Amino acid sequence: MTRLVVVGCGIVGAMVAYELSRLPHLVVTVIDQQLPGHGATGAALGILMGVISQKTKGRNWRLREASLRRYQTLLPELEALTGISIPHNHQGILSLCTDPEALPRWESLQARRSRQGWPLEIWSPQRVQAACPHLSGAGVVAGIYSPCDRQIAPKALTQALVKGAQQYGAEFIFNHPVQGFDTTDGRVTAVTTAADRYPADAVVITAGLGSTALGQTLGAQVPLGPVLGQGIRVRVPAPLGNDNFQPVINSHDVHLVPLGGNEYGVAATVEFPTDMERQPQADPTQLEAMWQTAVAYCPALAHATQLEQWQGLRPRPQGRAAPIVEPLTGHENVLLATGHYRNGVFLAPATAQQVQAHLLGCDPRP
Ligand SMILES: Cc1cc2nc3c(=O)[nH]c(=O)nc-3n(C[C@H](O)[C@H](O)[C@H](O)COP(=O)(O)OP(=O)(O)OC[C@H]3O[C@@H](n4cnc5c(N)ncnc54)[C@H](O)[C@@H]3O)c2cc1C
């Protein structure tokens, strides 16, 4: 039996716990300082930008493709196992192209995806207007439609993963911050909270922005910085556009996400800390600019009722690509799975596969 302790229960920790608790020889314990999905995961809209992303090769694409494939089976599997319904949208992502000079890039992506076995459609402005009559169409030179990309509700998914992992025997400890580790000869032997000590043969740190402080307690650098994102949830009198075609729409990096019940999410700003700040403060002008971008491409939003504004902090690796999935320097039995920045919900399944491959001693697929 191998005792695995996972520190952090956002989408990444919950996914790692679920996938690994299914292995017969592992006993999984997950510890979080709050309730599950209350970190960055709680602020995400859960858009899975796979086929439509411009990442086409190397690690970037392999992680995306592994997650795309796993999501196809994961949601029905989890819903059947746990009885939890996980709201998701499988009507694809429609990206509005307003720059004629960008079209060759989309055409080349379409050809590439076709060779990779994934559909990507390039629509005329007329077809965009017919499919989505609520969009203004102003300046739109094409619609890039990706039918295999989807969106899921991150908190509901996290909760289902927790319940699924519990059904496979995993134990969860909530509202207890991990304060440190017991070590012997470069190995962590236990994870400690104020109340308890959890013996460990292996540890996975999935603590998002909290990973830096945890690394420090073990004398290792885990350089992550917070990047703030704000969003707005609105209600409209009736579904926007065609009732039976409600994809995620984006233009100029502003997403319009159907949430059901005539509600939509508009997100998200991308706000970096200034030189003087350790943590960025939410900037109302950036929120307003995002909102005006959304209203420009979907004018009906101007009459929507704003229900909520929210914000969250994305964990972004400093000076290197996201995410970080590798052993912690100086501690051979501690694995980092963190720093997922803007794609943690999407890349969680591929991350869990990498963690599993590492623990089993085989080559991580991605
Ligand atoms: C506004 C916004 C929109 C986003 N939209 C998307 C999107 O559409 N699609 C997408 O894929 N991604 C999106 N993201 C990014 C995504 O939210 C993150 O990449 C992802 O949630 C990171 O997950 P995580 O599990 O690593 O971290 P977190 O969700 O932050 O979880 C880390 C957990 O570790 C716990 N923790 C920290 N320190 C300790 C400690 N010492 N002891 C115990 N527990 C600890 C925390 O309590 C927390 O629960 C968005 C982010 C934001 C802010």
pLDDT of 277 = 82
What share of the chain has pLDDT > 90, as a percent? Answer: 96
Residue 351 lies inside a defined structural domain of this protein:
yes
Residue 365 lies inside a defined structural domain of this protein:
no
pLDDT digits (tens, 9 = 90+) for 23-43: 999 999 999 999 999 999 999
C-alpha to C-alpha distance for 312 and 181, rounded to whole angstroms: 28
Helix (H) or strand (E) holding 203: strand 202-205
Q: How far is C-alpha 281 from the geometric centre of its chain's CA atoms? A: 22
Same-domain pairing of 161 and 272: no
For residues 148 and 156, the answer to whether their CB atoms sit within 8 Å is no
Residue 287 lies inside a defined structural domain of this protein:
yes
Same-domain pairing of 146 and 161: no
pTM equals: 0.98
Same-domain pairing of 232 and 307: yes
The enclosing domain of 112 has a CATH number of 3.30.9.10
Calculate how far, in angstroms, residue 37's C-alpha sits from the geometric centre of ligand 1: 7
Radius of gyration of the chain (CA): 21
Residue 327 lies inside a defined structural domain of this protein:
yes
Residue range 274-287: average pLDDT? 91
Calculate how far, in angstroms, residue 324's C-alpha sits from the geometric centre of ligand 1: 13
Same-domain pairing of 141 and 167: no
Q: Flag whether pLDDT at 134 surpasses 90.
A: yes
Residue 53 lies inside a defined structural domain of this protein:
yes
Same-domain pairing of 336 and 239: no
Q: 162 lies in which domain range?
A: 2-85+153-223+319-360
Same-domain pairing of 219 and 131: no
pLDDT of 131 = 98
**Pocket residues: Cβ below 6 A from ligand 1:** 7-13, 31-34, 38-41, 43-47, 177-178, 206-208, 210, 214, 229, 231, 267-268, 312, 314-315, 338, 340-346
Same-domain pairing of 159 and 122: no
Q: Flag whether pLDDT at 128 surpasses 90.
A: yes
C-alpha to C-alpha distance for 322 and 220, rounded to whole angstroms: 18
Token pair of 176 as six digits: 């207890």
pLDDT of 363 = 55
Tell the residue nearest (CA) to atom 31 of ligand 1. Answer: 10
Calculate how far, in angstroms, residue 8's C-alpha sits from the geometric centre of ligand 1: 9
Q: Flag whether pLDDT at 278 surpasses 80.
A: yes
Q: Flag whether pLDDT at 365 surpasses 80.
A: no
Ligand 1 nearest-atom number relative to CA 8: 34
Same-domain pairing of 312 and 329: no
Token pair of 31 as six digits: 């510890």
Residue 366 lies inside a defined structural domain of this protein:
no
Same-domain pairing of 217 and 244: no
Residue 105 lies inside a defined structural domain of this protein:
yes
Residue 279 lies inside a defined structural domain of this protein:
yes
Same-domain pairing of 285 and 253: yes
Same-domain pairing of 158 and 78: yes
Q: Are strands 187-193 and 178-184 parallel, antiparallel or unpaired?
A: antiparallel
pLDDT digits (tens, 9 = 90+) for 74-115: 999 999 999 999 999 999 999 999 999 999 999 999 999 999
Q: How many CA atoms lie within 13 A of 67 on its CB side?
A: 29
The enclosing domain of 197 has a CATH number of 3.50.50.60
Same-domain pairing of 196 and 74: yes
Number of structural domains (the chain) is 2
Calculate how far, in angstroms, residue 190's C-alpha sits from the geometric centre of ligand 1: 24
